[in-house]
C-alpha cells in the first residue's frame, strides 16, 4: 500500500501520464516492448474525486493488486500540478498490456475497483517504464449522506457559527441502517460540521443502542442560557422538532417537545443537553450516553466513584474469570435497578464480563437499590511449608466498603435551596443541574458510608461473589494437599447485607488520596496528542524509513485517552491532536479508545498493518505528566518499532520481551488483542464491544451470536423490552450489555454466578446454559422467558505454540464467523439454542430478579400467554402501545474464579460430540400539565427514577399520570 514515499521529478511524470491516458487496455508496443526480462517500473496516475467536494482533501486508500490478487507495495505521492496521485512500483515480468486492479477506498465512501492495463510510452521508445492512468468518482454511502445532510439542515436552522457552543447526540453507530452499522452517519456529521464537532471537544455523544434501534439525531446550540434543538428521527432528513430544549422551557413547550419527538430519546436528548450546558464533566456525559441519559443515579454513581477513589484508592488489580485481560481493581456488589450501578461499573472499568460486577435483587437482606459494595481484593497465593501448601500472609484477603447516596436528603436540600417543590420532568432537569454544582464543590457530603471493613477472607469472598467450580490448592508442586478442595462451588449471594453484618470484621482505615486538577486547557491537552502522533511518525521513519500517511486505513491508534485522567482532568482532547496529525478517529475505526480505570496511565499505541495483512508494526508511548515527556517502549535489541502480529504471538521469548520491556504497563493483552482483532476488519459493533470489554478475546464473542439469536427469535414489539439474568458469567456478558441494550443501571441485566454442575445444557450435548432471557411486556405484565444455551466450537490450532497465538486464532475465527466466512481454525462450529420456554407473570418476573433464576426455570411448569394473563387476572388486550423497541434492564454477578473461561471449555481443540449449529425458534393535555418522559422509555425503562415512568404511548389518549421524583421512590 502506502510505503516508502519517493519524491520523483514531476515534470517528466506529467508527460508520460498524458501518454498513459491512451486506452488503458490498448496493446500498443513501444520502448523496450518485447523484452519481458528487462526491469520494468509501472507508473500509474490516479485521480480521485468525491461526491462532496469539501471531502477532496481526504487522502484515499489506494491498493494495487496483480491478476492473482496479490497486493503490491507501491510508492504513493500526491502531485499538485497533476491534482492526483502517482503510484510507482516494481513488478517483475510486467509487459505491455499487463493488467492490475486498483482499489480505492475512503471513509464514508463506497469502495471502487478498476482493472487497468499498463502500456509503454508510444512516443519514447527508449523509456523502459509502463504507464497507466485512471479516474475514480467516489460515491458516498447512504449513511454518510444522511449524516452530512442532517448536519447541513441543522446548521441552516440553528446557525452553528452564532452559537456559544454546539452539541450533537445520536443513536448512530451500532444500529443498522441500510443493512449496515451506522458509524458512517457520524463520519458525515464530523465532516459536514467543518470543525464544529469533534470527539475531542466531547460534543459528539453516541447513545448506546441495539442493532434494531432507529437512527436519530439531535443538534443543540447553546447561546447564553438558551438551548435550541433540531431533532431528526428514524433516519429521516426532515426534522420532527425545532425549538427550545432548555430546562427553563415552559410546560407547554415541554409537552410539544415530547409529543413531537414521541420516543424514549426525548428524555435522553433533554437530560444530556442540559447537563452539558451545566458543565458536566466530559466523562460523565459519555457514561450517561452509555446509560442513555443523565439522572440522579448517574450523578450519584459518579460521586460515589470520586469518594471511593479518595478514601480507598485502587491496589494492584486482582485476577478475573479466564483471560489474562480479565483483571479489575475493584469487585462491585450491586442491586440492579438504580443508575449508579452503570456509573461505577463504567468509571472503574469493573464490568461483569471481567468478573468486576455482581448483582441481583438482594433487598430482602437489608440492601437498598442505591447501595453499592466495593471489594479491594488481593489474590490468594500459596507457599509450601513442611511439604504442605499454606496461604501466604497478606494474600487471599481484602477490604469491603458499602456506600450509597442519600436521595431523600438531597431532594430535601434541593427543595430548601431552590424553592422548587413540584414534580415533573422539567424539575428533574433543574435538579440535575443543581446536583452537578454540589458534586463540583464537595462530593463527599453527598455520600453515605454504611460499612468500611477489612480482613475479608476467601470464604467471605466466594460466598458473596460465588464460584462456578471448586477452589483447590495448586497442583504444580508435590505438596501433600495439592489439588485438594478448599472451597466448594457455590452460587453467588451478592450484596447480602445480613451476611455482611454477621461477619463482625475490623473497621478499615481510610486513605485521603486527594488529586488536584492541573487546569490544562483544551489546546494544551490536544497538544499531547499532536506530540504523541509526531513522535510515533518520527520513530517509524527512523527505524523503518517510512512516512506514516495521514488517514491511512492501515494505521490504528489504540489508547487509554478519554477514560484516564491527567491530574484530575479528562484526556479526550488528545484525540483531536491525533486526528490533526494522522486523521484517525473512532468513526473510521482507526482511533480506538480502550476502556480503562480513570487512575490508569495515559498511553498510546500506534500499530501499522503490513502488506501481508499479518505484520503489525507497533510503537508504544506512555505520557509522563510530571515533565511532559514520553516513555517509548524499547525492546532488548534496541528496537522501538516491534511486530505484535500473529507471528510474534507464536514466539514465547518475543512475548516476554514485548510485555516486559515494550508494553510494560500491564496492558500488553489489551493492546495486542485489540490490534490483532482490528487487523481482521471486524464489524463496528464487534469493535465497540472489544473496546468496552477493554480487550479482545474468544470469551467475549459468543455474546455477538447470543444477541443475534435473541433478537431474531424473540423480537420486540410495542413497549416490550429485554431482561437478562446471567448464570454462567464470563466475558460474553460484556458484549450482551453493549449489543442487547441491557445494563445493571437500567435494571435489565442481573447475574448470579452459578455452579457449573447446574448449568449442563439439556438441549446441547457439551453445551452450557448461560442464563435466562425475558421479553417483558409492561402492558400485559407478562413475559416470554427461556434459558439460552451455548456450545463452543472446536478449533484447529496446529502449529500454534503459545496461549497468545491460540487466543488470537480463536478471535480471528469468531470474526470470520460473524462475517459469514469460513475459518481454517474451526473444526466444528458453535451452537446456540433455547429451552424451558414459558410465559411468566409479574410475580414470577420478580422472583427471577431475586436470584436462583436457573432453578426457578427448572421448577416452573410451562404456561401459555393466555394462561399467564389469566393467572394474574389480566386481559389479552395489549392496549395502546408505541413503536419503541427494546428494554434495558441489567444486573450481574461475577467473580474472579471459575466459570467458563476466555478460551472456551477446557476441551478446546478436542472434538466432542458433534453438534451442528442450531437455530431453534419458538413458535397535549387540556390541563396544561407537563408530560413526564421515561428516562429510557416505556420500552427501555429505568427503575432508578419512577417519576419518569409514564409511557409515551399515553400521549395518544391525551392524559398522563405523573410519578414525581420528589416522592423519593427507590
pLDDT 10s digits, 294-343: 999 999 999 999 999 999 999 988 886 667 788 999 999 999 999 999 99
CA 121 to CA 126: how far, in whole Å? 9
Per-residue confidence (pLDDT) for residue 124, from 0 to 100: 87
Q: Which of 653, 658, 703, 649 is nearest to 679 (CA)?
A: 649
- C-alpha span between 617 and 605 (Å, rounded): 10
Instruction: Find out whether 600 and 564 touch, Cβ atoms under 8 Å.
Output: yes
- Burial (0-12, 13-18, 19+ Cβ within 10 Å), 199: buried
Quote the CA–CA distance of 755 and 14 in Å, as a whole number: 73
Per DSSP, the three-state class of 366 is coil
pLDDT of the residue at 686 = 97
pLDDT of residue 319: 80
Q: pLDDT at position 873, please?
A: 75
Q: Is a pLDDT exceeding 50 seen at residue 901?
A: no
Q: What is the pLDDT of residues 338-350, one digit of tens each?
A: 999 999 999 999 9
**pLDDT, mean over the chain:** 87
* CA pair distance 659, 649, nearest whole angstrom: 11
Residue with cell string 491516458 = 21
Q: CA–CA distance from 194 to each of 151, 198, 523 (Å)?
A: 10, 10, 18
Whether the predicted pLDDT of 942 surpasses 80: no
Highest mean pLDDT among 420-424, 617-621, 948-952: 617-621
What pTM value is reported for the model? Answer: 0.89
Q: Is 675 left (phi over 0), alpha (psi -120 to 50) or beta?
A: alpha
pLDDT, position 879 = 36
Report the pLDDT value the prediction gives residue 62, as an integer from 0 to 100: 97
**Percentage of the chain with pLDDT > 70?**
85
- Give the pLDDT confidence of 559-612 residue by residue, as tens digits: 999 999 998 999 999 999 999 999 999 999 999 999 999 999 999 999 999 999
Q: What is the pLDDT of residues 678-696, one digit of tens each?
A: 999 999 999 999 999 999 9
User: For residue 28, is pLDDT > 50?
Assistant: no
**pLDDT of 963 strictly over 80:** no
8 Å CB contact between 943 and 338: yes
Q: Which of 350, 287, 344 is nearest to 317 (CA)?
A: 350
Residue 12, pLDDT score:
38
Beta bridge partners of 186: none
Q: What's the average model confidence in pLDDT over 719-728?
A: 96
| 170, 82 Cβ separation under 8 angstroms | no
Decide: 230 and 239 in contact? Cβ < 8 Å: yes
Q: How large is the average pLDDT for residues 866-882? A: 65
11 has pLDDT over 80 = no
* pLDDT at residue 84 greater than cutoff 60: yes
Alpha-carbon span 745 to 520, nearest angstrom = 32
Closest to 776 measured CA to CA, from 790, 786, 766: 786
Alpha-carbon gap, residue 354 to 735, rounded angstroms: 11
pLDDT class of 16 with cuts at 50, 70, 90: very low
Please name every residue paired with 115 in a beta bridge, in sequence order, or none if there are none: 101
Indicate the Cα dihedral angle 347, 349, 355, 359, nearest 10°. Answer: 20
Among 194-203, 698-707, 755-764, 923-932, the least confident range: 923-932
pLDDT digits (tens, 9 = 90+) for 731-788: 999 999 999 999 999 999 999 999 999 999 999 999 999 999 999 999 999 999 999 9
Each residue's pLDDT tens digit, 431-484: 999 999 999 888 888 999 999 999 999 999 999 999 999 999 999 888 999 999
* Pair 292, 302: CB distance under 8 Å: no
Three-state DSSP class for residue 207: coil
What would the pLDDT profile of 485-508 be if each residue is shown by its tens digit? 999 999 999 999 999 999 999 999
Q: Please, are residues 938 and 952 in contact by the beta-carbon 8 Å criterion?
A: yes
Phi/psi class of residue 379: alpha, beta or left (left: φ > 0; alpha: ψ in -120 to 50)? Answer: beta
Burial status of residue 916 (CB atoms within 10 A of its CB: 0-12, 13-18, 19 or more): exposed
Q: Which helix (H) or strand (E) holds 690?
A: helix 684-693
Residue 361, pLDDT > 50, answer yes
Residues 6+ apart with CB under 8 A from 683: 181, 818, 819
For residue range 250-300, list pLDDT tens digits in order. 999 999 999 999 988 999 999 999 999 999 999 999 999 999 999 999 999
Q: What's the CA gap between 658 and 594, in Å, rounded?
A: 19
Helix, strand, coil percentages in the chain from 3-state DSSP, rounded to 5: 30, 25, 45
* Position 941 pLDDT exceeds 90: no
- Rounded Cα distance between 491 and 893, Å, is 10
pLDDT confidence bin for 934, thresholds 50/70/90: very low
Residue 913 in this model has a pLDDT that exceeds 70: no
Amino acid at each position: 500500500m502506502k510505503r516508502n514515499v519517493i519524491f520523483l521529478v514531476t515534470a517528466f511524470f506529467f508527460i508520460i501520464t498524458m501518454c498513459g491516458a491512451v486506452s488503458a487496455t490498448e496493446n500498443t508496443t513501444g520502448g523496450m516492448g518485447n523484452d519481458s526480462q528487462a526491469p520494468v517500473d509501472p507508473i500509474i496516475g490516479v485521480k480521485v474525486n468525491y461526491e462532496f467536494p469539501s471531502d477532496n482533501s481526504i487522502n484515499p486508500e489506494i491498493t494495487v493488486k496483480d491478476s492473482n490478487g496479490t497486493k503490491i507495495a507501491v510508492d504513493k505521492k500526491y502531485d499538485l500540478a497533476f491534482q492526483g496521485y502517482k503510484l510507482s512500483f516494481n513488478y517483475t515480468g510486467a509487459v505491455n498490456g499487463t493488467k492490475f486492479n486498483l482499489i480505492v477506498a475512503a471513509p464514508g465512501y463506497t469502495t471502487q475497483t478498476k482493472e487497468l492495463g499498463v502500456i509503454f510510452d508510444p512516443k519514447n521508445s527508449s523509456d523502459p517504464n509502463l504507464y497507466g492512468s485512471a479516474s475514480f468518482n467516489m460515491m458516498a454511502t447512504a449513511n454518510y449522506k444522511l449524516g452530512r445532510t442532517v448536519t447541513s439542515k441543522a446548521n441552516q436552522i440553528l446557525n452553528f457559527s452564532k452559537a456559544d457552543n454546539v452539541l450533537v447526540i445520536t443513536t448512530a453507530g451500532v444500529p443498522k441502517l441500510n443493512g449496515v452499522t451506522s458509524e458512517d452517519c457520524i463520519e458525515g456529521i464530523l465532516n459536514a460540521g467543518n470543525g464544529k464537532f469533534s470527539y475531542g471537544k466531547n460534543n459528539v455523544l453516541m447513545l448506546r443502542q441495539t442493532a434494531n434501534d432507529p437512527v436519530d439525531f439531535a443538534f443543540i446550540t447553546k447561546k447564553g442560557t438558551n438551548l435550541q434543538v433540531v431533532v431528526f428521527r428514524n433516519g429521516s432528513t426532515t426534522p420532527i422538532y425545532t425549538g427550545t430544549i432548555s430546562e427553563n422551557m415552559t410546560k407547554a413547550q415541554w409537552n410539544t417537545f415530547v409529543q413531537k419527538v414521541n420516543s424514549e430519546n426525548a428524555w435522553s436528548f433533554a437530560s444530556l443537553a442540559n447537563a452539558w450546558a451545566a458543565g458536566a464533566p466530559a466523562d460523565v456525559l459519555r457514561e450517561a450516553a452509555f446509560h442513555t441519559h443523565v439522572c440522579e443515579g448517574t450523578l450519584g454513581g459518579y460521586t460515589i466513584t470520586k469518594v471511593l477513589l479518595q478514601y480507598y484508592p485502587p491496589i494492584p488489580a486482582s485476577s478475573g474469570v479466564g483471560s489474562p485481560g480479565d483483571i479489575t481493581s475493584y469487585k462491585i456488589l450491586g442491586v440492579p435497578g438504580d443508575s449508579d450501578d452503570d456509573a461505577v461499573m463504567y468509571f472503574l472499568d469493573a464490568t461483569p464480563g471481567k468478573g468486576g460486577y455482581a448483582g441481583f435483587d438482594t433487598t430482602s437482606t437489608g440492601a437498598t437499590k442505591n447501595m453499592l459494595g466495593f471489594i479491594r481484593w488481593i489474590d490468594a497465593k500459596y507457599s509450601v511449608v513442611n511439604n504442605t501448601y499454606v496461604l501466604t500472609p497478606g494474600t487471599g484477603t481484602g477490604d469491603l466498603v458499602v456506600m450509597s447516596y442519600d436521595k431523600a436528603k438531597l431532594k430535601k436540600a434541593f427543595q430548601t435551596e431552590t424553592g422548587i417543590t413540584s414534580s415533573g420532568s422539567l424539575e428533574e432537569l433543574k435538579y440535575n443541574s443543581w446536583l452537578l454544582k454540589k458534586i463540583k464543590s464537595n462530593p463527599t457530603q453527598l455520600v453515605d458510608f454504611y460499612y468500611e471493613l477489612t480482613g475479608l477472607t476467601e470464604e467471605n469472598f466466594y460466598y458473596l461473589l460465588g464460584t462456578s467450580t471448586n477452589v483447590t490448592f495448586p497442583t504444580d508442586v508435590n505438596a501433600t494437599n495439592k489439588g485438594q478442595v478448599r472451597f466448594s462451588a457455590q452460587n453467588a449471594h451478592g450484596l447480602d447485607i445480613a451476611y455482611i453484618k454477621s461477619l463482625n470484621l475490623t473497621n478499615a482505615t481510610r486513605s485521603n488520596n486527594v488529586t488536584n486538577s492541573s487546569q490544562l486547557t483544551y489546546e494544551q491537552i490536544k497538544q499531547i496528542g499532536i506530540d504523541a502522533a509526531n513522535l510515533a511518525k518520527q520513530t517509524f521513519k527512523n527505524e523503518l524509513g517510512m512516512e506514516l500517511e495521514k488517514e491511512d486505513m492501515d494505521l490504528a491508534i489504540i489508547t487509554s485517552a478519554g477514560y484516564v485522567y491527567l491530574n484530575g482532568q479528562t484526556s479526550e482532547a488528545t484525540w483531536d491532536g491525533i486526528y490533526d496529525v494522522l486523521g484517525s478517529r473512532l468513526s473510521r475505526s482507526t482511533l480506538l479508545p480502550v476502556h480503562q480505570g480513570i487512575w490508569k496511565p495515559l498511553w498510546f499505541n500506534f500499530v501499522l498493518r503490513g502488506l501481508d495483512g499479518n505484520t503489525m508494526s507497533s510503537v508504544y508511548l506512555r505520557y509522563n505528566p510530571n515533565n511532559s515527556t514520553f516513555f517509548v517502549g524499547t525492546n532488548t535489541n534496541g528496537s522501538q518499532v516491534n511486530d505484535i502480529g500473529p507471528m510474534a504471538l507464536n514466539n514465547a521469548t518475543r512475548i516476554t520481551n514485548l510485555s516486559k520491556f515494550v508494553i510494560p504497563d500491564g496492558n500488553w493483552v489489551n493492546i495486542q488483542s485489540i490490534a490483532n482483532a482490528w487487523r481482521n476488519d471486524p464489524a463496528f459493533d464487534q469493535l465497540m464491544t472489544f473496546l468496552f470489554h477493554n480487550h479482545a478475546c474468544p470469551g467475549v464473542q459468543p455474546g455477538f451470536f447470543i444477541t443475534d439469536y435473541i433478537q431474531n427469535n424473540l423480537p420486540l414489539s410495542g413497549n416490550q423490552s429485554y431482561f437478562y439474568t446471567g448464570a454462567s458469567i464470563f466475558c460474553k456478558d460484556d458484549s450482551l450489555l453493549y449489543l442487547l441494550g441491557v445494563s445493571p443501571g437500567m435494571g435489565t441485566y442481573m447475574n448470579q454466578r452459578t455452579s457449573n454442575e447446574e448449568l449442563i445444557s439439556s438441549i446441547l450435548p457439551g453445551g452450557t446454559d448461560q442464563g435466562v432471557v425475558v421479553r417483558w411486556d409492561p402492558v400485559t405484565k407478562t413475559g416470554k422467558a427461556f434459558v439460552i444455551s451455548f456450545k463452543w466450537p472446536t478449533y484447529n490450532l496446529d502449529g500454534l505454540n503459545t496461549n497468545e497465538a491460540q487466543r488470537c486464532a480463536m478471535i480471528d475465527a469468531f470474526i470470520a464467523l460473524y462475517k459469514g466466512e469460513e475459518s481454517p481454525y474451526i473444526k466444528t462450529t458453535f451452537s446456540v439454542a433455547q429451552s424451558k420456554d414459558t410465559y411468566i407473570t409479574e410475580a414470577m418476573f420478580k422472583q427471577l430478579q431475586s436470584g436462583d433464576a436457573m432453578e426457578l426455570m427448572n421448577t416452573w411448569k410451562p404456561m401459555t400467554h393466555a394462561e399467564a394473563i389469566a393467572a394474574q387476572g389480566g386481559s389479552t388486550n395489549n392496549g395502546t402501545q408505541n413503536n419503541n423497541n427494546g428494554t434495558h434492564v441489567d444486573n450481574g454477578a461475577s467473580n474472579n474464579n471459575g466459570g467458563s473461561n476466555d478460551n472456551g471449555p477446557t476441551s478446546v481443540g478436542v472434538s466432542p460430540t458433534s453438534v451442528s449449529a442450531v437455530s431453534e425458534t419458538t413458535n397535549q393535555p387540556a390541563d396544561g400539565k407537563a408530560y413526564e418522559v421515561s428516562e429510557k422509555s416505556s420500552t427501555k425503562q429505568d427503575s432508578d427514577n419512577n417519576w419518569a415512568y409514564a409511557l409515551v404511548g399515553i400521549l395518544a389518549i391525551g392524559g398522563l399520570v405523573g410519578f414525581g421524583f420528589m416522592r423519593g421512590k427507590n
